Amino acid sequence: MKILDTVIIGIDLMLFMYFYNVAINTTDMTTRLIACAAMTFEVYFIRKHIRIMRRLNVNKKENVTKDK
């Protein structure tokens, strides 16, 4: 599961960098705003995924301590 989580975060980071390059290299304001919104969503998805991973790790640790 950790490998899949790493791949998902890696893809999100690559998309963030892509949208950053699109926003920097364009002169059209509409495209720039859409790219900025996409970057914001990518940061949100990365943070949400990390929170979910932490919750799962905490739940696993609680289950292990309850079983002992």
- Calpha distance 30→46 (Å, rounded): 24
Tell me the C-alpha distance between 66 and 44, whole Å: 33
What is d(CA 17, CA 59) in angstroms, rounded to the nearest whole number? 33
Look up the domain containing 54 and give its range.
Answer: 2-67
Residue 33 neighbours by CB distance under 10 Å: 11
Domain count, the chain: 1
Give tens-digit pLDDT for 22-51.
Answer: 999 999 999 999 999 999 999 999 999 999
Q: What residue type is 53 in one-letter code?
A: M
* pTM (predicted TM-score): 0.77
How much is the mean pLDDT over the chain?
A: 89
Label residue 68 by pLDDT band (50, 70, 90).
low
- pLDDT number for residue 7: 92
